[in-house]
Amino acid sequence: MTADDTEFQRRRDVLATYLSDNFPGIDQETLQDIESNVQWMELRAGDVLMEQGAPGDAAYLTVSGRLRVYVKTDDNAPRMVRELGRGEITGEISLYTDATRSATVVAIRRTVVVRLDKAHFTALVARNPQVSIALTKKIIERLQTQQDRRPLPPPVMVTLLPITGGVNAAAIAQRLMQALGQFGRVCCVDSSTMASRAAAEVALSGRHSASHWSTVLEDLEDEHDFVLMVADTEPNEWTQLCVSRSDEVLLLADATQPAAIHPVEQACMVDPPHRNEAAETLVLLHPASTQSPLGMRRWIERRPVTGHLNLRPELDGDIARLARLLSRNAVGLVLAGGGARGFAHLGVWKALNDLGIEIDCVGGTSMGAVMAAVIAADRDIPRTMDVIKQAFKINPTGDYNMLPLISLIKGRRVRAIIERSIASLMGGPVDIVDLWKGYFCIASNYSQGCEMQLHKGDLGRALRASIAIPGALPPVVLDGELFCDGGTFNNFPADVMRNMRGVGKVIGVDLSARRAKRLDFDEMPSAWQVLFDRLKPRARQRYRVPSLVSYLLNVSVLYSVSRQSESRRQTDLYFNPALFKFGFLQWGRFSAIVTQGDAHAREVLGALSHPEKQAWGIREA
């Protein structure tokens, strides 16, 4: 058997595996019939497999490589909606209908697919009706779940590309390989090991060793869930091959060095001979003693990367976080707004940490955004609790405007509390991109009338925008536009967290009330009646109406509350602590609210079944 025959047989074996996975229950003879009716196709990076609006005449199954799916928006600009990894089928509806293609599909890198056209499918079904039944089930399953978010498949081929000096990519790869081991089969190769693996084939064929590198990588891709390719520090043949064969490239940079584009990065990522469309993640490396990365925006602004990560390679926790993000198993924590009740978020966080659930990404709205930011700072829990408790000893909503033309509250105390907390936890003013954990907060763009997700920019200013309750706190100017409280549109942004790259599980802490309060009067009292009523002991008060500030706080999130059921559906683990005893403005009850959040979280986690606890990695307290 020749080398070409061996390669073709290997591909057929891989195809047989994916067909069996997609159509369980079909007999072996039918699967072989399908194999004999498909056409093999090899795509290069950037090749278009199908074009939106074109006639649909075939279905495709990805054998190796990766595809990206785009749809045109109203302004005719393409928007990426998903990626397809190996073993996935696309275009199957065209086998039954004459509908045009609903999306454009492009190869991210060198990709092998098999094509089954309508004519062969019709003949195949005539001989084996099971094929039509199995494919119909597949289509129905997809239609039933088309509203659900389909997570990006994890990358199989990952390049670690050092773009500055002083980076030990091989050591990082070895540690990452160990961390990824719990999620699948992993191997690691560099130029020297690749040369050794190809040497045997060189002796057999007499060809130049480099011609075998691609074949060896194909074998490794078939045999493993993750292949870590350690590139060299110069743009040589091996480094170029690594980048061209990648689903994702990790750009490893010593964050203490200048942020300029380096030669290997220029040659392989900016202007390579055959550029692929792989995701690029900038991994900024810091010493283990770093309190908080500062000034990382200078790195981000120079590179149109897919994402970034601040990493202390000496810390096992940071390496484990990178592994979870790469394998799409990262845990995201999303926190709702709710005034002083937001202190409960810290209690939930403490319970999760005590029971062994690691948080990789965090985000929120309004007070939830503030608590998310202090969690993303990744300081120890006692220190974080102490900083927030001390900061909120001053009533943040107590500086009322004598002339409330813009807002009832001046907002100076809020600004001071936020800035003081950031300085205590992070060492000074920071950008959102400086945080250790992935972070976002929600604000409402008043100028454009839309929800905004803030992933970069001055953290303090972003937090003030997210909590700027209309009428209660002054709006914030960002890039020449007015921003106010994010709760107006999305007070519990579980959907945003669900779409963060790498997040596989979403934990949500919702602060909406469980029960509505009934009033025992028919008409609203006058201002004087309310004033005199509040001078009485609380037990004798009749008019339990909210204060103006509290009323504005609640009204601003009414639209978001109407989306609560959908937001809850986006979570894998949901917390809704009973906080009806605490008011929105009871800032002085920090400890009691934190304790309530802690107790509720432990109750929910304790009620999980044993398999669920195992899935979350919960340890006994």
The set of catalytic residues is 366, 485
Count other C-beta atoms under 10 Å from residue 383's C-beta.
13
Count other C-beta atoms under 10 Å from residue 595's C-beta.
15
Token pair 């080398």 is found at 3
Q: Which of 64, 81, 63 is nearest to 72 (CA)?
A: 81
Q: What angle do CA 351, 354, 357 make, to 5 degrees?
A: 85
User: What residues does 477 pair with on adjacent strands?
Assistant: 482
DSSP 195-214: HHHHHHHHHHH---THHHHH
CA distance 189 to 242: 10
Exposed/middle/buried for 344, CB within 10 Å: 0-12, 13-18, 19+?
buried
Q: What angle do CA 164, 168, 174 make, to 5 degrees?
A: 135
CB 411 within 8 Å of CB 474: yes
Count other C-beta atoms under 10 Å from residue 122's C-beta.
11
Please give the order of strands across the beta sheet that includes 78-84: 48-50, 104-107, 67-72, 78-84
Both tokens assigned to 591: 């400890």
CA distance 185 to 227: 9
Q: Which residues contact 308 (CB under 8 A, 6 or more apart)?
A: 281, 282, 283, 284, 296, 299, 300, 433
Q: Which of 280, 278, 276 is nearest to 44 (CA)?
A: 276
What does the radius of gyration of the chain's CA atoms come to, in whole angstroms? 28
The torsion of the CA quartet 554, 560, 561, 564, rounded to 10 degrees, works out to -150
